[in-house]
């Protein structure tokens, strides 16, 4: 049985250019989905799956992310004096979610480079990777997105990546995985080739790599050896293709809904879905959506 997965890396050092000007001084991972930063949903997903230590790969806005997950003495003191008990408890809970270490990626040289920055902390252990702008909504009684990949890793001993089927015309925006579906479990996929953003006209698969990974420590050496690839960045996909050739790699179609909150429409969708899932906001949101649709007619 492979060792259990206790570490998670969450890279949040990208430039977030798709969200300028909002991301000029605020990381896109701190933009709120209703009233909670995107990153907090992801940190909660990791800890709820049994992760014991999160390594955040930070860029130029280190301060506000660290502050968010830290104790906030002044705020707590004020809420206490004003008897705002529920708010106080909610704020305190964030600082108690679990241990989070942050490392600085000194330049945004790509996702592969960002993940490699966590090596000195994680060392010779398997680890999860959760992209800081990809959200997974799973049913309350079900295992979280990354939890499903951890289970597949612990059952097979092989590296796991989350996959999603997209229209073939869209695959050029993603890492693309070729291979075949497992005979016994249609959610599992045996990968035979991985390509980062295949150019239009060369598409061979509709399975896109989306935001969650569980990887063995062998990937560190492969990342060290990975040369600059697509977009002038060190691509995680290239190291994972090498891993696949050496020791196999599997894909998991997560049972849940994935939303790319790093994309403008995805961000709006994530906000609407979250609002519709809250008892205090659902009917107001439905009314608002109906009014807006009627205005369009």
Confirm or reject binding of residue 14 to ligand UTP (CB under 6 A): yes
Region of 91-99, 103-111, 121-129, 240-248 interacting with ligand UTP (CB under 6 A): 103-111
Find tokens 């009917």 and name the residue: 283
- Residue 31 lies near ligand UTP (rule: CB under 6 A): no
Enumerate residues 6+ apart whose C-beta is below 8 A from 118. Answer: 7, 9, 55, 57, 103, 127
Query: Smallest gap, in angstroms, from Cβ of residue 59 to ligand UTP?
Result: 6
In angstroms, the CA 127 to CA 123 distance is 10
The piece of 104-112, 139-147, 169-177, 238-246 that touches ligand UTP (CB under 6 A) is 104-112
The kind and range of the H/E element at 194 are strand 188-196
Q: Quick one: which segment of 118-126, 129-137, 163-171, 267-275 binds ligand UTP (CB under 6 A)? A: 129-137
Pairing status of strand 207-215 against strand 7-12: unpaired
11 binds ligand UTP (CB under 6 A): yes
Does 57 bind ligand UTP (CB under 6 A)? Our answer is yes
Task: Compare residues 105 and 285 and give the one whose CB is closer to ligand UTP.
Answer: 105
Count of helices and strands (H, E) across the chain? 11, 13
Stretch that binds ligand UTP, among 88-96, 110-118, 213-221, 284-292 (CB under 6 A): 110-118
Q: Is the C-alpha dihedral spanning 36, 261, 281, 138 positive or negative?
A: negative
φ/ψ of residue 161, rounded to 5: -130, 145
164 binds ligand UTP (CB under 6 A): no
Q: Which residue is nearest to ligand UTP (CB)?
A: 14
End-to-end CA distance of the chain: 59
Which residues contact ligand UTP (rule: CB under 6 A)?
Answer: 11-18, 29, 57, 105, 108-111, 113-114, 131-133, 262
């Amino acid at each position: 049985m492979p060792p259990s997965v206790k570490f998670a890396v969450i890279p949040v050092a990208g430039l977030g250019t798709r969200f300028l000007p909002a991301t000029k001084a605020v990381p896109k991972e701190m933009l709120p989905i209703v009233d909670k930063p995107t990153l907090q949903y992801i940190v909660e997903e990791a800890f709820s799956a049994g992760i014991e230590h999160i390594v955040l790969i930070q860029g130029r806005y280190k301060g506000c992310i660290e502050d968010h997950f830290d104790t906030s003495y002044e705020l707590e003191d004020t809420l206490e004096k004003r008897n705002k008990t529920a708010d106080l408890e909610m704020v305190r809970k964030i600082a108690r979610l679990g241990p989070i270490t942050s490392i600085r990626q000194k330049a945004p040289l790509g996702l592969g480079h960002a993940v490699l920055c966590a090596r000195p902390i994680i060392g010779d252990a398997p680890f999860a990777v959760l992209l800081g702008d990809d959200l997974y909504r799973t049913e309350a009684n079900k295992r979280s997105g990354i939890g499903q990949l951890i289970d597949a890793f612990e059952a097979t001993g092989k590296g796991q990546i989350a996959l999603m089927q997209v229209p073939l015309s869209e695959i050029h925006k993603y890492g693309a995985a070729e291979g075949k579906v497992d005979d016994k479990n249609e959610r599992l996929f045996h990968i035979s080739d991985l390509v980062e953003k295949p150019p239009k006209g060369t598409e061979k698969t509709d399975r896109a790599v989306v935001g969650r990974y569980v990887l063995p420590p062998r990937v560190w050496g492969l990342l060290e050896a990975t040369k600059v690839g697509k977009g002038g960045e060190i691509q995680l996909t290239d190291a994972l293709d090498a891993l696949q050739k050496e020791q196999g790699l599997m894909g998991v179609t997560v049972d849940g809904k994935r939303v790319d909150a790093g994309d403008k429409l995805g961000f709006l969708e994530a906000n609407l879905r979250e609002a519709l899932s809250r008892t205090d906001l659902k009917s107001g949101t439905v009314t608002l959506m109906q009014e807006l649709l009627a205005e369009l007619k």
